[in-house]
Structure 1
Amino acid sequence: MIKIDNIVLPDFPLLLAPMEDVSDPPFRVVCKDNGADLMYTEFISSEGLINDTAKCRKRLDIFDEERPVGIQIFGGDEGKLGMAATIVDMIKPDLLDINFGCPIKGIVSKGAGSGVLKDIDLMVRLTAACVKATNLPVTVKTRLGWDDHTKNIEEVAERLQDVGIKALAIHGRTRCQMYKGTADWELIAKVKNNPRIHIPIFGNGDIDSPQKALEYKDRYGVDGIMIGRAAIGYPWIFREVKHYIRTGELLPAPTLAERVDVCKRQLRKSLQWRGSESGVYAMRRHYISYLKGLPEFALFRKRLVSTDDPLEVEAVLDDLLIAYRGFEFEQTPIELINYHENCSL
């Protein structure tokens, strides 16, 4: 088993990465259904929490069926990040995670997210402020460094462990890479194999198949894997990875009935959490991903995204089952989207 302070996870846990505009409660619950062992909220601004903005307050919502779940915050000011940690403490998630990895220009320009990678002393102070401000286990998600000349993750891991973090998730890219190129897991392995490091180390970046998950598990020796982009529209990645690691066999692709069931479950959770109008609207971006591979899907897609009536959405999904009766999906490679591809450096 793997332990993050008092949180007990299975051997080689699979974590759902926190993703802006993706990992909301409705999406988290379908990932949990399919085998995710630990999940996180979308990242939340420390200043927004202190100012009690509606957006940040909404992102604090967690539910018992998701546990264990962590709330992730970001910020570049010690005092404000510490105050935000105190607010999170009152919500009682299972852990508090600090985002030092987000590469979005709007976050970085405020000296937060991966912008903190330019100042390791500040990163240590920010982390220490959170550890002191909460009784929750504090974890960190970060990147290898700012650019190819400042890959300082080995120093970062030691210093953050020294101030009290309980686990570290490392995306194998620099901030300047964004999501381009190939993730470098060799440096993640160096952190894991450092005899000074005794906290769990989770690897993140480019896991897009059960085969790669097992290969990286064996090659790099990390304590677990964090999966992000591969889960977008495909929460079954978690169960497929677990099955392959356990048996060496690939599961067949999820059936149309399974895909429709997940669409309905996420839709209903979205309605409960967001309300009718917003809940239907938020689901529109998911249908293409869930139902990718259906031939001549354009007409059904148009019906799905042009109605505000939840019952009509479910009726269209039921029509799909009739129209495509007997259709079998092929197990095809997952295409990783270039997350935030339009964000400039």
Structure 2
Amino acid sequence: MRRNGVNYSKYGYIFSIPFIVIFLIFSLYPTLYTAVIGFTDMKGVIPKPIHILDNPFQNFKDLIMENVSFRQSLINTLILWIANFIPQIVLALLLTAWFTNRRLNIKGQGAFKVLLYMPNIITASTIAVLFSTLFAYPMGPVNSLFHALGWSDAPIQFLQDKNTARGIVSFIQFWMWYGNTMIVLIAGVMGINPALFEAASIDGANGIQTFFRVTLPSLRTILLYSLITSMIGGLQMFDIPQLFITPAGGPDNATLTTSVFIYGQAFKGSYMYNKAAAASMIMFIIAAVLSLIVFYLMRDRSEAKLKKQQKMINKAAKAAARGM
């Protein structure tokens, strides 16, 4: 943009310099350095000369083929993410439909939204302490309640059972994040053209039909964003599994996620930085591949079909021009 002979477009580049510098130093460089470490023999607290392995992919091979804990952490991460994301997105959609229903016109929506979003504001360490206390053995509040109601004769060790521990961790993740997903979806609904809802109402569509025929299709991009961010966050699940159960990842590695595994490799025991870096890059590749798959599955098929038809038309036009 040029005004009075002065070119102002350069200032946009100048203002972006701080972000670029911070990104290069604190994001891109650590990522590239981590990738390099994955091909080396770097380990131990005392600094030693680093060498590229004779087989650069040996660390990756050892993790995938020989490390049972790493494979278990992948399975746990998938289970915990699915167990918390499905109810999370379902409840968020229900609450979104409830709050945005023009016919209900719910009063005090702001207060409800704040209360539902509140768990996302509380720090993970606080939530971990809270739930550890609730399910404490033998005299935690949950055990006391079960005993008072006659549901159990003896205290239950909730955190020593694999399925129970996974269920609690999944519930905590669900409880922490459903409010955030709800707010994102509500924002998406507020951005939908009101004329679409008015047209649906004139055509005689009820609330359920409007939600599934108008609201959901219009939320494709927002749902894609929620799914991608939730998936990446699930693959990086660390704080609750690390802080909630002692030892981290217990019982018997039932809540050991990949992030907890990576932390243990890098900062505990033998300080296997090379193994931790290799595991990090494997997770990076998994996240990238899954994101591409989700993008492909949730693409706008009608738009893709139109583009394909347009390409065929252009190709036919070029062929006809050559024939002339």
Query: TM-score, normalization: structure 1?
Result: 0.23
Q: More strand by proportion, 1 or 2?
A: 1
